[in-house]
Structure 1
Amino acid sequence: MQSRLSAMPHIDVPGASLYYETDGHVSKPALLLLHAGIANLRMWDPQVAALAADHFVIRFDARGFGQTESLNVEFSPRADALAVLDHLGIAKATLIGCSRGGALAIDLAVESPGRVAGLVTVGAGPSGFPETELTEREDALFDGLDEAFAQKDWHRLAQLEVLLWAVGPTRSEDEVDPEFLATASELNRVNVVHADEDPTPIPLEPPAFDRVADITVPTLVTVGEYDISGVLAEYEYLLSAIPTASGCTFRDTAHLPSVERADDFTRVLTGWLAENAL
């Protein structure tokens, strides 16, 4: 695929050109950072310097996000992630994923366990997790998203996604630091340019829900205390179902603790990596 970003780091995969960045030395243990669905690889900027001191840090924009370009084709998100590792000559990495990135990390851990050294999830659950009943406030917020989507009001949709996920259903915008809110809005706003793209992810079959008990690598499951109720349920499930899992709830934050509470998140993550020799 010919990309207008051809002068920038990219990997050509079937139907797409994946934008990626690396930091640190390739001889160090590898970390693959997988971003949320309301962000792009820039969401990990607060962590990269600390992680790159002792690791080879890899991150890329998924199809439909950031500086990646994609045709409207079916694709495997797992294959895309592995293609990035293969391109860089990485046999095994610790996967650190937020939201959709966390679900992808879990899928990879069950489908390709030989490529995974460790697993960290942030506000994420396994594919195939049963739908949970929403609160009245969450229902209203999702109705707003559906309406904006139906009207193809992509900028409004991006704003409402930030309200739901970054602010959370139990906080108001007034309770959130304005600088963080501006950062969260920008992380999502840049994805609007992909509104007319429609790459279709091929789901993992069977899904990860009934397979996470087979995960044997060190696992850290994290969540923000103000995340939506379904994500909080997923957090509890992963803690109970993955034999190697330890957990951490980040206070005063919702779906993006690594951005809103960056110092706390970095401290917990680097400490856990050191404790597990990853």
Structure 2
Amino acid sequence: MANTENVQTGFADVNNTKLYYEVAGTGHPFILIHGHLLDRRSWDDQFAVFAQQYRVIRYDQRGFGDSGLVTGEKPYSARQDLYELMKFLGIESAYLMGVSGGGALAIDFTLEHPELVDALIPVTAGVSGFQPSEEMMKDHPVVARMYTSLNDAFEQHDIARAVDISLDLWTDGPGRLPAQAAPDVRERVRAMTTRNWERPDEEIQDQMHPIPLEPPAIERLSTIAVPTLIILGALDVPNPLEHLAAEIPAARKIIMADTAHHPFMEKPSEFNQIVLDFLGSLKP
């Protein structure tokens, strides 16, 4: 992790689990939500940089990194986990940025708690309720085959093979040859993905079903009223927000060249400047 002075770390007891978090800097709260291949360390190139201007919070979602899974039998909501974490840290509202599955969570949270979000930055994010059509899969046969191979690897409990396929699919992206992304980025993602998928509670996690947002985001994007910046990778798998961005009023969209699913890790300096410029353009 980049050097950051006075980092506050700890565990928040929320909703029958423990969420590990790190906080640095002062200023307006800015929460970073990792993707579902990753953990909080994926933001290493952003954490210290953004902490120079903001109070930056990054955390491991339930079942990822150093956070727990569950200590009871009650249903859980990732949105409620984030809500309780904000209460625990005394955060009244924040800028919210999430990547991939974390981006989908950021969108859902904004819809459920619009009063708590001052700006939204979904990065290569999913959209709850979105289902790729058969036509889309036919138009992208390489992606469809890779998804099938990934599911086969999981069914055979071959984690190493599943991780390799996920790296080809998301870190390299279908627009590049396998292992064409920067080696250091691939190995960082490999380490985090492997750790997540090899957790001893992984089988329990597979049997748990978080409470979905109802109605899902796909039906409500037009109601998002906060300033929104959508960031995509030009070499990523097809992303619904590339076409749905227009449904979010006044949303800005940037597609970063020569990056796939993790543009913030592949081109951190460019990515950071894009985000800082966007936040700096907001009215205090």
Q: Does 1:185 align with 2:186?
A: no
Task: Give the structure-1-normalised TM-score.
Answer: 0.91
The alignment partner of 2:32 has SS state of strand
Q: Where in structure 2 are the equivalents of 1:51-200 lying within 5 Å?
A: 51-71=50-70, 73=73, 74-132=75-133, 133-134=136-137, 135-194=140-199, 195-198=202-205, 199-200=208-209
Corresponding residue for residue 3 of structure 2: none
Q: Report the alpha carbon displacement of residue 178 of structure 1 after superposing the two structures with TM.
A: 1.5
Q: Where in structure 2 are the equivalents of 1:5-44 lying within 5 Å?
A: 9-25=10-26, 28-44=27-43
Q: Report the alpha carbon displacement of residue 118 of structure 1 after superposing the two structures with TM.
A: 0.4
What is the alpha-carbon distance in structure 2 between the residues aligned to residue 20 and residue 90 of structure 1?
13
Corresponding residue for residue 259 of structure 2: 253
* 1:33/1:59 contact within 8 Å kept: yes
What is the alpha-carbon distance in structure 1 between the residues aligned to residue 170 and residue 148 of structure 2?
14
The alignment partner of 1:108 has SS state of helix
* 2:168/2:179 contact within 8 Å kept: no
* 1:95/1:118 contact within 8 Å kept: yes
Deviation string, structure 1 residues 97-127 (Cα, Å, up to 9, x no partner): 1011110111011111000100001001321
What is the alpha-carbon distance in structure 2 between the residues aligned to residue 208 and residue 75 of structure 1?
18
* 1:33/1:57 contact within 8 Å kept: yes
The one-letter amino acid paired with 1:62 is Q
What is the alpha-carbon distance in structure 2 between the residues aligned to residue 258 and residue 251 of structure 1?
12
The one-letter amino acid paired with 2:109 is L
What is the alpha-carbon distance in structure 2 between the residues aligned to residue 213 and residue 253 of structure 1?
28
What is the alpha-carbon distance in structure 2 between the residues aligned to residue 30 and residue 277 of structure 1?
15
The one-letter amino acid paired with 1:191 is N
What is the alpha-carbon distance in structure 1 between the residues aligned to residue 102 and residue 218 of structure 2?
16
Task: Give the structure-2-normalised TM-score.
Answer: 0.89
Deviation string, structure 1 residues 140-161 (Cα, Å, up to 9, x no partner): 1111111111011223222221
What is the alpha-carbon distance in structure 2 between the residues aligned to residue 105 and residue 68 of structure 1?
18
What is the alpha-carbon distance in structure 2 between the residues aligned to residue 158 and residue 174 of structure 1?
12
Deviation string, structure 1 residues 204-251 (Cα, Å, up to 9, x no partner): 01111121111111100110001112x1x32221x2100120010011
Q: Does 1:234 align with 2:234?
A: no
What is the alpha-carbon distance in structure 2 between the residues aligned to residue 167 and residue 161 of structure 1?
9
The one-letter amino acid paired with 1:251 is A
* 1:222/1:235 contact within 8 Å kept: no
What is the alpha-carbon distance in structure 2 between the residues aligned to residue 130 and residue 185 of structure 1?
27
* 2:171/2:181 contact within 8 Å kept: no
Deviation string, structure 1 residues 181-207 (Cα, Å, up to 9, x no partner): 212212222212322331421100111
Corresponding residue for residue 4 of structure 1: none
The alignment partner of 1:39 has SS state of coil
**Structure 2: gaps spanning 5 or more residues:** 1-8
- Specify whether residues 61 and 218 from structure 1 end up closer, same or farther in structure 2 by C-alpha distance, changes over 3 A only: same
**Structure 1: gaps spanning 5 or more residues:** 1-7
Corresponding residue for residue 280 of structure 2: 274
What is the alpha-carbon distance in structure 2 between the residues aligned to residue 18 and residue 46 of structure 1?
21
Match of 1:208 among 205, 208, 217: 217
* Stretch of structure 1 that moved more, 239-248 or 184-193: 184-193
What is the alpha-carbon distance in structure 1 between the residues aligned to residue 11 and residue 198 of structure 2?
18
Between 1 and 2, higher relative CO (CA 8 Å, sep ≥ 6) is seen in: 1
Deviation string, structure 1 residues 41-94 (Cα, Å, up to 9, x no partner): 111110111110110101111122111111385310100011111100001011
RMSD after superposition? 1.5
The one-letter amino acid paired with 1:89 is G
The one-letter amino acid paired with 2:164 is Q
Identical aligned pairs, as a percentage? 34
- Specify whether residues 10 and 174 from structure 1 end up closer, same or farther in structure 2 by C-alpha distance, changes over 3 A only: closer
The one-letter amino acid paired with 1:193 is E
Q: How many residues align?
A: 266
What is the alpha-carbon distance in structure 2 between the residues aligned to residue 155 and residue 192 of structure 1?
9
The alignment partner of 1:43 has SS state of helix
The alignment partner of 2:175 has SS state of coil
